[in-house]
Structure 1
């Protein structure tokens, strides 16, 4: 029986989650459909653009994403502190970028009309803002805002109605740095594992391609969660340096493909040593992270702490955690 969504997503345990959303139709979301003979490659751009657009409204940042032929992968981080810092005006502005709101909220956003609001109406708006603030930190609302517009556009293009996506997206909580970074590499290498591309920089509609393009100019993508950097507050960054991660992904990608020559010298593996993950375990994680764990992912200590907090007697995946995240 599927676990309730509130049991899969607990911000008290971690702000990071691996999300997978799949199509229900035989026809593909993107790329060449072998059944109909049609090409839907342009839909990848729809999904990528929508993902990046949502980061400008939600207090949810994107660590990694990959748009595949019939599913999407996302690594999301819920930025609760960011949402709490927004005033009423910013919450409403962000909400109105995606939804129409109510006549009262739209009136509040008009400085001239705002002066005519009664105290009772202002209290109504404050209650709505509290709901909007919570929704803008809700992964279910994020995925709803991503999938529904794509489904409507695809239905119009296909001339049909009905479900386009599975009713439930799959969610995995990433409890520690090992789980987070290995899952991000797994997501970023999806096109290479599927033989859709040969290198990360050629992997269209992925976060790794955006990061490499920005890194060439000495920057990080504005719409993705940044890696650790001297000019960014560490509290808002991913837990390693960008160069380390790019080298790690490059090495993992080369090791997975028999026809890719060359290797990265062993002295570049400092990140793996710091995380306490063996090389063989890292390769196994980045080849099939989604299947190594269930709803929770992390080392044994992280899993046990989460189990005690949630009052669970058993957590699936503890065996793989001992094997793959052994120091």
Structure 2
């Protein structure tokens, strides 16, 4: 079966959540200990984190979660055309030139664009409109990220050809249950892969970044020896009751917006991750703790169903993810086609 065109799933004019995955060629461990070459490439995980911080500060896209493993990485991104729409022409040109600079300093960092460089974009309506669209386009984020990682790694190895296996995989998350389950799936990836025992020890994940910032105590196991913070990540809690409505553009310059993505606090999210990690690791389904039960009740999920969704999210959802009722009502962007879900999803989450 031919794979569905990306334009059928993602409308560039809509705010959309996407779970994206990129794998190295033949799943070789080109981000970690590679048994074939006997080399260690953990430093490339640091490259990716650095690019993620830079992209979060320049693109009109929120970085929700990330996890970088030895042969692939996961991101959850939220496109924000509503934020980009409010940027003036100079801001659009400046951000693009910080992503694709004409000049770099001695350390390889982009130089602040000059007036002629800015004018070349802002004085051309066609180019300006195209770049404004690119800045909230998840495909452009992934294109530039994978291109830079691949070029840098190939130069380091003195190799040519493909570095990533294929085009990145993208699954649209269409409701809050899909966003929460996917976030837990991404943040718990190192634990599921037996690369870490706890969330705090899960290097190169957004969960670890949030814990360090929340506790103000850096983890001791960092491979880069640097203190991390989560200022480039989207906040967890989206409290519209406190006036956080609309685009909520960030004032820090480190991320696109200050709009959260869940209806509960960071503390509750980390508690839910910790409990879920223990349930998945032990393989025993226990009663949901009282303070976490309302979260799953809102989603209409039993604890056993929740754990299976988190453990097997990548296998269960291929194109779109969400409650079967929401998926049944959803249509593709161009041809208005229905999306199908595996029968296992319908068994886990009955529609009526």
TM value normalised by structure 1: 0.87
Matched, 1:233 2:244: yes
State the SS of the aligned residue for 1:227.
Answer: coil
More off after superposition, 24-33 vs 206-215: 24-33
State the SS of the aligned residue for 2:200.
Answer: helix
Structure 2, unaligned runs of 5 or more? 104-112, 218-228, 247-258
Would you say the 8 A contact 1:18–1:76 is kept in 2? yes
Q: Aligned-residue CA RMSD in angstroms?
A: 2.9
Partner of 2:320: 296
* Cα distance in 2 between the residues matched to 1:286 and 1:244: 16
Displacement of 1:14: 5.7
More off after superposition, 237-246 vs 3-12: 3-12
CA-to-partner distance for each residue in 1:234-262, whole Å, 9 max, x for gaps? Answer: 552212221221111111101111299x9
Residues paired across the two proteins, number: 315
Displacement of 1:182: 0.2
Partner of 1:244: 268
Partner of 1:224: 233
Would you say the 8 A contact 2:60–2:83 is kept in 1? yes
TM value normalised by structure 2: 0.81
Q: How does 1:1-327 map to 2 (within 5 A)?
A: 1-10=2-11, 15-25=16-26, 27-100=28-101, 110=114, 124-217=123-216, 221-228=230-237, 233-235=244-246, 236-240=259-263, 241-258=265-282, 265-307=289-331, 312=336, 314-317=338-341, 319-326=343-350
Would you say the 8 A contact 1:83–1:136 is kept in 2? yes
Q: Which structure shows the bigger proportion of residues in helix conformation?
A: 1
Summarize the Cα distance change of 1:153–1:287 in structure 2 as closer, same or farther, 3 Å threshold.
same
* Cα distance in 2 between the residues matched to 1:249 and 1:223: 21
CA-to-partner distance for each residue in 1:11-69, whole Å, 9 max, x for gaps? Answer: 57761011011111463221111111111111111111111210111111111110011
Summarize the Cα distance change of 1:68–1:277 in structure 2 as closer, same or farther, 3 Å threshold.
same
Would you say the 8 A contact 1:65–1:188 is kept in 2? yes
* Cα distance in 1 between the residues matched to 2:234 and 2:243: 11
